[in-house]
Chain A
Amino acid sequence: MIRRLHALLGAPLLVGVLAIGHSLESRAEYADVVLNRNSEKEGMRPVVFPHWFHRIRFRCKVCHAELGFKMRAGSNLVTMGDIIDGRFCGACHNGEIAWAPENCDLCHSGKPGLPPGIFGGHETNGPGIW
């Protein structure tokens, strides 16, 4: 009887928690990165960076060695100023190699309120210190 009561009480709570976690994370494409340390403060949607889309076109090394994107989540603070000056995303998104930064809503396409980080069911967590 008590067990049944537990099940009755627990079920909606559990489903609720799962629904939130699930809707946010597990449907996103593996290795999608959300950038939102500045975006929403500045009145724009968060940025979604799709790794899969870029790795079809460029090897990891291009961004992570040439452009200076560090491989640790949270260690790259990218601003629109950088991009317009040709740093980070702006090294390619300059209207020559890829489309120019005036297409705001292609990058700033995330749901409002998303925390910055890696989405898409990644399985290694933690601080990633090396």
Chain B
Amino acid sequence: MNRILRVPMAVLGLAAGTLLATGPTFAQDEKGKAVYDKVCVACHSAGIAGAPKLGDAKAWAPRIKAGIDTLYESAIKGKAPAMPAKGGATDVSDADIKAAVDYMVAAAEGGAGEPAAAAPAAPAAQAAPAAPTKPRPAALSFNRLLKPASKRNPPPPEDGIHDPDNDGTHALQAPLQVFEALPRSNAGNRVDWVKSLDNNLIAPRWDRTDPAAAPVVMDLNIVREVKGSMPDVVYPHKQHTAWLDCSNCHPQIFIPQKGANQISMAAILLGQKCGVCHGKVAFPVSECRICHSKKKNVMPVKNAQAQ
């Protein structure tokens, strides 16, 4: 893999070297293209996460208007919401990044590449001046459940568990590159995964190899009456069978028989029953009302008196 890459890179380097003698601007363009092909292309060819596509004059116009220095700065330092510093390739020099910006600007001005008919909401999302995310007071970080916006969904090099000294870390996709386009929620990944799937915003495979395989969705709600004043729990098989196989839950976690399963919040918080997934990978128990969603039939007091 490395060797295959190295050859064209060497050729490119050679080409750039010889071209430098004939015309510096042309060589600069070649350099820009090389960097674009290596780094920027990941998002700027398909327009991922609102990135302006290469050659899309409409999407680039407001950015070019802001001035080339602003563009350089956004490219080198990164820009909210989705542009990572240097497109994530921190080992590339500032000059090379600038060359890549020049290349993309030239492509937009020259109308090179295919001009996208509609730039989906990209100008509106990014033309607004990037509000610098202010560091919140440390007091807010006491409660890990109340993360300030600046601490949510950080890119891998900043998330505290990836090693920023590892080259591979910088090649990994940042969560926000994807999450920006998905419906948000208040906990967990802060993505409403069920809605994302229902609205076809994501298309996770049901079968490892067959992209066309569709799940057998079972639409059956189970209502569990709970003690106390909390609303009853409605368990929807539908949303669960869209992701999971029956055997994931039955019969080991939940015995498929009415009345056979004792479930309590204590068990869930210990990672049992619903807590096998909820609180670890599915939405956590802080979102009470997603499960406790059916109002109880309150005793009709007036009628009781009338009798």
Using Cβ atoms and an 8 Å threshold, which residues of chain B touch A58? 204-205, 208
Query: Which A residues between 107 and 126 are near B, CB-CB below 8 angstroms?
Result: 107-112, 114, 118-119, 121-126
B interface residue count range (under 10 / 10 to 19 / 20 to 34 / 35 or more):
35 or more
Contact A129 B272 (CB under 8 A): yes
Contact B168 A62 (CB under 8 A): no
Contact B175 A123 (CB under 8 A): no
Using Cβ atoms and an 8 Å threshold, which residues of chain B touch A48? 156, 161-162
Contact B271 A126 (CB under 8 A): yes
Q: How far is the CA of A129 from the CA of B178 in the complex (A)?
A: 34
Contact B161 A111 (CB under 8 A): yes
Known contacts A27-B159, A51-B281, A52-B189; A62 and B166 CB within 8 A of each other: no
Known contacts A59-B215, A123-B279; A103 and B168 CB within 8 A of each other: yes
Contact A29 B208 (CB under 8 A): no
Contact A123 B141 (CB under 8 A): no
For residue A31, CB closer than 8 A to chain B, the reply is yes
For residue B284, CB closer than 8 A to chain A, the reply is yes
Contact A121 B206 (CB under 8 A): no
A-B contact pairs, 20 of them (CB 8 A): A15-B138, A26-B147, A28-B159, A31-B188, A48-B162, A55-B204, A59-B206, A59-B242, A61-B206, A61-B243, A61-B248, A62-B205, A62-B208, A100-B1, A104-B168, A105-B166, A110-B162, A122-B280, A126-B270, A128-B275
